[in-house]
Structure 1
């Protein structure tokens, strides 16, 4: 499965701070829960990557 492969799967995505000063991205899909914790600096890098991808996606329209 690649980034361009479409799948018909519903998922729940939550993002927020933890009590330990981390940023958690929490994904739940098909009964599977995936908590991913990041240092704030890592989370900022991920946010920048998401924004860059959104900018590229707009160009593809």
Structure 2
């Protein structure tokens, strides 16, 4: 499965700090529990990557809407 493949799998995502000063992304779905811990600096890099991806997705969606008109 790639980044652009759709899936019918439902999952929950929780994000928060741990008592050890890490940032945890906790993904649960399809019978799997996946805790991922990151140093705060790594979490900030991930947040920036998410922000950039959201901008790119918005631009793609806006471009697709423009072509339909």
Q: TM-score range by the shorter chain?
A: over 0.9
1:3 partner SS: coil
1:5 partner SS: coil
Structure-2 residue corresponding to 1:48 = 48
Rg comparison, structure with higher value: 2
Q: Given the two structures, how large is their TM-score scaled by the length of structure 2?
A: 0.87
- Aligned pairs, how many? 61
CA RMSD of aligned residues (A): 0.4
Structure-2 residue corresponding to 1:17 = 17
User: Which structure has the highest helix share of the two?
Assistant: 2
Segments of 4+ moved more than 2 angstroms: none
| Structure 1: segments with no counterpart, 5+ residues | none
